[in-house]
Amino acid sequence: MASAAPTYVLRYFPVIGFAEPIRVLLAAAGVEWTEEHPEWPQEKPNQPFGRMPVLIEKTEGKPDFVISESQTIARYLARKYGFLPADLQEAAMQEQFFDQQHDVVADFNKCETLAEGEDRRERRKDVDEILDKLIEVQTAILQRNGNTGRMFGDGLSLADAASYGFYKVFMIGFVRLQADIANVIRAKLTPEIVKHLALVEADPALKAHTDKAESLMAVVQPQPGKL
């Protein structure tokens, strides 16, 4: 008898953060999953590396498979459910994009934890430099793929999930760190990227997630009077 499909528990804080690409992939995979928000720091010692996100894969008759590291979790799900190509070079093109985005998020976060004597404007200039390059490269990738709104191929990919999570964390999550960050990013977005984000958010496979989560497009293309 075939074993039952695995189900998942995603442990994270109740924020967008590093977890959004994982949520998008779980939703797109059509698997059963729930999210857990452990008490912190009480539950810190119970996580594999003391940090979250953590993914628990539950398969009947097998011990739980527990992994950390947001990028590792997303890659694992992408490979398992067909959101990364088997061709190693094609997969690497997507993964480099994912890693670059992760660096921009981490650098932006560092601006909030300056050491004494460090200049926030200098730090922010570094973030702008890699962010502007990333937007330029992403726009070229979208154009090369025929400006369909998909970054690679004709279906949702790891790169699409990563990109959606990236702009969501900047334009919604980071507003608590820098009030005008959504306006700053909106001014940088190209029409190709706007089209791409709209397509990801409208994906029927993601409906269960996007219906209950905050809408990125409401911030990317706000209705008049709602800014």
**Contact residues: ligand GSH, CB under 6 A:** 17-18, 41, 44, 51-53, 69-71
SS3 at position 103: helix
CB of residue 13 to ligand GSH, shortest distance in Å: 6
CB of residue 174 to ligand GSH, shortest distance in Å: 12
The residues, any chain, with a CB within 8 Å of residue 216's CB and separated by 6 or more, are 164, 167, 168, 171, 172, 197, 201
- Minimum CB distance to ligand GSH smaller for 71 or for 183: 71
CB of residue 69 to ligand GSH, shortest distance in Å: 5
Distance CA 172, CA 159 (A): 19
- Minimum CB distance to ligand GSH smaller for 166 or for 192: 166
CB of residue 112 to ligand GSH, shortest distance in Å: 12
Helices 158-171 and 88-111, interaxial angle, to 10°?
A: 10
> Of all residues in this chain, which one has the CB nearest to ligand GSH in the complex?
51
User: Is the separation of the CB atoms in 48 and 56 below 8 Å?
Assistant: no
- Minimum CB distance to ligand GSH smaller for 41 or for 63: 41
Task: Give the count of beta carbons closer than 10 Å to the beta carbon of residue 116.
Answer: 4
- Minimum CB distance to ligand GSH smaller for 70 or for 157: 70
